[in-house]
Each structure stands twice: as C-alpha cells, then as structure tokens.
Amino acid sequence: MKIQIELFGASRDFSDQNFLEFDLKNNSTIKDIRKKIVEYLDKNFRGNENFKKIVNSSVFCSENNNIISDNYKITSNEKIAIIPPIGGG
Amino acid sequence: MLHTKVIDIKEKKLSILEAENFISSSEFGASIFFSGTVRNQNDNKSVLGITYDSHDVLVIKSFEEIYNEADQKLNIKDKAVFIEHAKGYLNLGEVSIIIAVACKHRDEAYILSRYIIEEIKKRSPIWKKEHYQNNDSTWLKGNPIINEKN
C-alpha cells in the first residue's frame, strides 16, 4: 500500500516536496514508517545523523488529526503527518 | 468565550485591536495582552527574520484543550480568551502570537495568560526557522511532543 507522510518543521528539509511517499506492506505500523524514513535518509542524505535524530524524536499524526502511538496500524492510502520537536510563540 | 486562529502572514497581520474587541466586556475587570515578536538575536547569532510553520488543525485543537483545562486545573470559569499565531515569514519586530485574556480579577488574568503561553510552547505543533546573514538558516531544535499512548 502507498502511504504519504506530510512534512512539517525541520522534517521539511527531507524533501523539496511537502511529503514523502512509501510503499508499505499491509498492516504496517508507525514503527515501520520510522524505519522506512531512516532508510530513505541513509540513501538520500548519507545517513545524516541530525535528520535521523529528528525522526526518532518525532511523533506522528493520523489523517483524522490524532497523535498516534508507534503501534498504530496504518490503513491503505492514509495520510500521516510527522510532528518533529516543537517550539512556537 | 474563545477565539483561536492560525494566521497566514501573507494574507493579514495579527492585530491587538481585534483581540481587544473580542475580550472587551463589562463583566471583566482585568485584561492582559501578551504579544510575542521576532527578536534580532538568538544564541549569539544575529537574526534577520523567522519562518513559522504550523500543523493548523492540531494547533487549534491544542488551543481549545488549553482553554478548557483552565476550567478544571485553574478553576477560572468566567473568561474571554483570544489566541492567534502567525505562520509564514516574519521580519524583526513583527508579531508572531497574541494572547489576550479577560477575567473578573487581575490574579486570575495573570495566571491564565502565563498558563496559556507556557502550554502552547510545550504542546502546540508550531516550528521556527531562523534566518541569518548570507542566506543561512536553521530550524530551531524545539521540544519533542510527549505521546502518552506510547
């Protein structure tokens, strides 16, 4: 199944587009998404450690705008957002 | 009474006057206006401007949660609250956030205003990218959102 990850904050540096897209097995979880993003960073940014740190300290948000756990099962074509460490005001 | 909005700075600027109009009522004897503005220095670096990024839906959700918590945690029932945050590129001195609160008495107005800004810092998904000389820029480190479900 195809999954789109919407990028925010520091994760916007991962791509020129506003999102990343991955092919995942059915019943994949957020944990699998983290792994996929790290693999993508290894391939495209020579494993940039700062970028990996961002992924590991981020939470994720479901299409219906809830912060979700690493065990959350993603449904087909669901749009997920990555929420890196925040700091507004 | 609550007003919340994320303002795209390309469309309009944040306005203290609008905040004042919203919270103004003869019911309340105390009003506090807090505004955050873009500062010219951070971590010994000269800052030229800041780009704000926001997950708008989650931001509004967090503002509403913070407002509702004031009932339970702070026991401040009668209040008017206006919260707006900017997104997009802001120059030095431009306003990034306005929090206006009105309560019956000054004690609760001060407490509520401080509570709202501190909670926004902790949990509203907003990000800052600072811009420096020579087209250099960096996303500020920020604080991870704690997911209680994990």
Q: Is the pLDDT of residue B150 over 70?
A: no
Does the beta carbon of B3 lie under 8 angstroms from any beta carbon of chain A?
A: no
Q: What is the DSSP code string of B89-107? A: EEETT-EEEEEEEEESSHH
pLDDT tens readout for residues B78-133: 999 999 999 999 999 999 999 999 999 999 999 999 999 999 999 999 999 999 99
Q: Which residue type, as a one-letter code, is found at position A75?
A: T
Indicate the angle between helix axes A30-44 and A49-56, nearest 10 degrees: 170
Domains of chain B: 2-37+55-125 (3.90.1170.40)
Q: Which residues of A are less than 8 Å from B53 in CB distance?
A: 8-9, 12
Q: Which residues of B are less than 8 Å from A5 in CB distance?
A: none
ipTM above 0.90, yes or no: yes
Start-to-end CA span in chain A (Å):
38
CB A84 within 8 A of CB A53: no
Report pLDDT for B148.
56
CATH 3.10.20.30 at A2-83, yes or no: yes
B150–A88 CB contact, under 8 Å: no
Start-to-end CA span in chain B (Å):
33
Does the beta carbon of B5 lie under 8 angstroms from any beta carbon of chain A?
A: no
Q: Is the pLDDT of residue B35 over 50?
A: yes
